[in-house]
Structure formats: C-alpha cells, structure tokens
Structure 1
C-alpha cells in the first residue's frame, strides 16, 4: 500500500528536492503541494494524506499555526516537521502542538526514508542531531516537578538503566560493553522495555523518559 505525502513549504526548490527524493523511496508518493500554512487544512481535506511534511517558517501562516489549526479541527493525520531550525523551544512547541516527528532540512536521503518509515508505522522520529537538545530542554522544564513513580510500568532496575542509556543515544553495542552484558541480552531487555511501555521507537522512549522523570540532568 502506497503512503500518501503532502508537502507544505514556501520554497519551490525545497519541494522539488523532497519530491525527487521521495520518488526514489518505494511505497511513497507525493499527492499534493502547498506553499503556505494557510492552505494546510484545505489541502489535507482535499488529498487525505497519510503524512504531511510541514515547514515552520512560511510567509503568512507559520507551520506551527497551521498545525494548531489542523488539530483544532480534529484532524489527526501524521505530521513531520521539516525545518532548518534547531531552537529547543521551537522544537518542543512543534511536538507539543501535535507533530509526530522533526527532521532537519540538512538530513540525508537515508534519514528521510527512516523518518517516513517510522511515521508510517505509527512511530515518532527525531533527527539524531536534535535528540539531546529535546531531552535537555524537556528536562529543564520539568526539573522542578514531582518525580513520577515508574514502578507501575513494570520495568526492572536493569531495564531502567538500559532505558536511560538508550535515550542518551548509546548503541546496543556500547550499552553491552558498558554494562558487561552480551549484545543479545541488551537486545532482549530493549525489546521487553518497548513491549511493556507499548512504545516501539527511540523518539517515543525519549519523550516517555523525560515525561516520567526517568532521566535527570545529571545522567
């Protein structure tokens, strides 16, 4: 089944470049384009896309304003922010406004495919370059909050330890070496963590760990 994409960006060259990249990814097709956020709601109604690739900075209506209007209208289609901005507050606003992912415009074609694959599978995606920024910003906002009880999620002490390392960007091999475990053991723990939390992507684990105060600024 083909995943339908809508491109919303005020730069024609950017739209053309993304369309060209998408044409090389099996299972995806661009069904429409818009050059301003003011057109988003109508374009979504017209084309019924599975994923919207949305720029933030546009002429009359910003991507964030358009996204807010989209969610206010009750539309729950998947939105991937495609932006050059790395400002922590802006990224957090995008995620809090209902974006499912945030991809930097200097991303490679491979990363674009990874992002689309994640989102079309119901997961979330953050460019690796901003993952730590998102964690730190969320922690700064939440550091004075009451620590959440995490035992209700049925995670063992070892799994919590591995979860903290995962959201800090450590690879399975690095985690295994640091904890003196086999790679297979770490993979098993990782799988169990995702199943118990019903979260199956790293971006989702990051947001969960921040929200539940599982990681701290000292981690």
Structure 2
C-alpha cells in the first residue's frame, strides 16, 4: 500500500486529489494538510511514501515544506502540484529535490501514475510540465529553445547507447526496477547507469536528468504503461 500525504490550502483541491487517488486500491491517503507547516508535521508523524504538495500555501510554502520533509523524512518522495504561471517555482523545486511535478488541471490518470512512480523511487514530470520547463529555461536567458535542445542532444551524445536507453526510460517516469525489467538486466546495473548518467550530465537528481531527456527529445511522446 502506497501511503500518501496531500497538502493544499484549498479544501476542494484536496478533496479532488483524494478522490482520484482512492480510485487506486493500492494507494491510501493517510493525512491532509491545509498549509506547509502542518504538512511537515504530518509527514513526520505518518512518514508517507509520497507527499503531494501545492506550491503556494500559507505559513510555509510548498518549496519550503518540501525541503523540510526531505530533511526530516528522506524516504518520502515529494510531488509538487503546480498551475500555469509558476514556472520559476518549478525550477526552484527541481533544485530542491522534488521528484515529481504535476499540473492541477492535468488528467487524473497522471496523478496516479506520478504517485506510483515517485513511490518506487522514480522521477515523474507531467509532459506539460516538462514542455513548460524547457520553454521557460529558454525564455529566461538560459539559451534559445533550439540552442538548449541542441546542447541537450550534445550532452546526451556523451552517454553510451545503454545509458541513453536508461535516460529515456527515466524521463518517462520509470523506476530502476521497471527499467531493469524492460532492459532485461538486474536492478543494480540500472542503478549504476543512473549514477553515471547524473555525473555525465552534470545534474544532481533524476528530475533534473528527466528535463535533459525531454530537452534532447529522447522521451517517447506517450510514457510507457506502468
């Protein structure tokens, strides 16, 4: 059973997230919070597998709460819920160790897919979020969109063929175990590939590597079925 904490200052959003998640018999919402401070306290108490956090909350915003939760309960993966216009926050969250990013107006199936992926140690970026991050990086002086894509392809070009395969699956939101099954190798081999990929790409976490995968255009348009 995947235990989940949901935090959003809008009761209707919390109810909607809970309703979607509880359609999956393998997911249990164990706590809800209306602000970031309570989210941290509830994460300490319940130690959920995944915390789904709104970015903008009173007392302590989602970014601050994510940092506190990752420090206090490192086994808890964090998914950020975003709306349009919060791209700067998404970039901050990427650097802060968040493993998943979903748009509130996205498809319900994406929420379940994202929670399951992060619970299994993967990184999950909604395709819409990934597209926005890539475009936002280009629009804020980090290079033109075409230039960033070309640079990403060059970075990916330094990887071995097997590492590129692993990166593409990682960008699709698959865990090490899922990647191992698809490539018919042991999970330890995939873990070693992921460590090498992060080092070669010069990124700190799987979510940041997933952004590079999307920039380079190696992620399938539709994520593989979980």
How would you bin the TM-score normalised by the shorter chain?
Answer: 0.5 to 0.7
Alpha-carbon distance in structure 2 between the residues aligned to 1:109 and 1:96: 26
Q: In structure 2, what is the equivalent of residue 198 of structure 1?
A: 194
Deviations, residues 25-82 of structure 1 (Å, cap 9, x unaligned): 1200000011000112211111111100100111221111222233344634100111
Compute the displacement of 1:6 (Å): 0.4
Count of residue pairs the alignment pairs up: 185
Deviations, residues 162-204 of structure 1 (Å, cap 9, x unaligned): 89998999xxxxxxxxxxxxxxxxxxxx949x947338xxxx8
Q: In structure 2, what is the equivalent of residue 155 of structure 1?
A: 161
TM-score, structure 2 normalization: 0.65
Alpha-carbon distance in structure 2 between the residues aligned to 1:105 and 1:149: 31
Compute the displacement of 1:209 (Å): 7.0
Compute the displacement of 1:86 (Å): 4.5
Q: After superposition, where does 1:131-142 map in structure 2 within 5 Å? A: 131-138=130-137, 141=142
Task: Report whether the alignment pairs 1:44 with 2:43.
Answer: yes
Q: In structure 2, what is the equivalent of residue 207 of structure 1?
A: 208
Deviations, residues 65-118 of structure 1 (Å, cap 9, x unaligned): 222233344634100111224433221111111110001001122111111121
Alpha-carbon distance in structure 1 between the residues aligned to 2:61 and 2:35: 8
* Contact 1:54–1:80 (CA under 8 A) maintained in structure 2: yes
In structure 2, runs of 5+ residues without a counterpart are 173-181, 196-204, 218-226
In structure 1, runs of 5+ residues without a counterpart are 170-189
Q: Which structure has the greater CA radius of gyration?
A: 1
Partner SS, residue 24 of structure 1: coil
Q: In structure 2, what is the equivalent of residue 69 of structure 1?
A: 68
Alignment root-mean-square deviation, CA: 3.9
